[in-house]
Amino acid sequence: DVKVTQSSRYLVKRTGEKVFLECVQDMDHENMFWYRQDPGLGLRLIYFSYDVKMKEKGDIPEGYSVSREKKERFSLILESASTNQTSMYLCASSLVPGPNTEAFFGQGTRLTVV
């Protein structure tokens, strides 16, 4: 059974803190993604990675960075958390382009910045 695991379900952090959100997938997928989800705005892509040590900006990368040191792990970093980064964060993975290109999602991390 495919699995994408995010390290935390809920996090509360203070403004200015450095925050790490971790994501691990066990499907040997090349592509990994970080989205944030806000009410009425759907899923917005922050960053994605198509290979180890490779990263590409998504639609809203400002205030975030990522790290992909190993194929199975993709980390999202908030260098200095701000209240407008309070959101649900979703990690996903998928195969490189092919017959099955659906993305598999983790359960989400609800981050509150106070």
The residue ranges that bind another protein (CB under 8 A) are 4, 31, 35, 39-45, 48, 50, 90, 92, 94, 96-97, 101-108
Nearer to another protein, 14 or 39 (CB): 39
Q: Using the minimum distance from each CB to another protein, give the nearer residue, 75 or 106.
A: 106
Q: How many CB atoms lie within 10 A of CB 32?
A: 27
* Contact of 33 with 108, CB cutoff 8 Å: no
If one counts every other C-beta atom within 10 angstroms of the C-beta of residue 85, the result is: 18
Quote the least distance from Cβ 34 to another protein, whole Å: 12
- Minimum CB separation of residue 87 from another protein in Å reads 13
CB of 25 to another protein, least distance (A): 12
**Whose Cβ is closer to another protein: residue 17's or residue 59's?**
59
Q: Which is nearer to another protein, 15 or 107 (CB)?
A: 107
Q: Is 89 left (phi over 0), alpha (psi -120 to 50) or beta?
A: beta
Tokens 């990690």: give the residue. 91
CB of 53 to another protein, least distance (A): 17
Cβ–Cβ under 8 Å, residues 31 and 95: yes
Max alpha carbon distance in the chain (Å)?
A: 43
